[in-house]
Amino acid sequence: MSLQRLREEVLDANLELVQRGLVVFTFGNASGYDPASGKVVIKPSGVPYEQLTPENLVISDLDGRIAEGSLRPSSDLPTHLALYRAFPGVQGVVHTHSRYATAWAQAGVEIPCLCTTHADYFRGPIPITPSMEAGDIHSAYEWNTGQVIIRRFAGIDPLLTPAVLVAGHAPFCWGASVTEAAHTAVIVEEIAHMAYLTVTIRADAESLSDALRDKHFLRKHGSSAYYGQS
């Protein structure tokens, strides 16, 4: 993919967050990674979404060195870079402060797998990180946010569990493209809302059975998937 095409895709993903009601004002950001060039395209910091153009997005390398753009990149760039470096196959990252997913993050509770809608996308709970230590917050905070996510995913395939709640903060989502990552961010908010309503109606609601969870996940993912068109 050319960097111009990636710029356009990253712009579309950022605007999708607004259209879906996942961000307000200048909250949130989306980025895309091109492995061929080693470049990352990301939203500039603090710029209103209605002012975004492909040309004012910022391009950096995986070390955070700015390659193109006169504006400062999103302050969350180091978190995005940490995930690209640690999770092979991830080529898009999206961060929002969407209402219900953020509420679960504020509560410090993973989102349980309570329904088949959840299981269509995640083969189990959406994990939450531990709270960050003061030293990690005071030094290289955004980079260390990435590190706490990476540590939480020890033993977890990030391509099969493409989202996390950062405790006390908000969700990060990712995927094989920035378009896919934005789609996941929409799904995470919908799942978070439904889970909130479920536990409000019945606090002791049980997680989906393993059999039903796996059936819904595996019919959409993996070599034996049969959902949709080939």
Q: What is the pLDDT of residues 192-206, one digit of tens each?
A: 999 999 999 999 999
Among all residues, which ones are annotated catalytic? Answer: 120, 227
The secondary structure of 126-168 as a DSSP string is B-BPPPPPHHHHHSSHHHHHHHHHHHHTTTS-TTTS-EEEPTT
Low-confidence ranges of the chain (pLDDT < 50): none
pLDDT of residue 186: 98
For 144-167, write each residue's pLDDT tens digit: 999 999 999 999 999 999 999 999
Q: What is the pLDDT of residue 227?
A: 94
Contact 180, 92 (CB under 8 A): yes
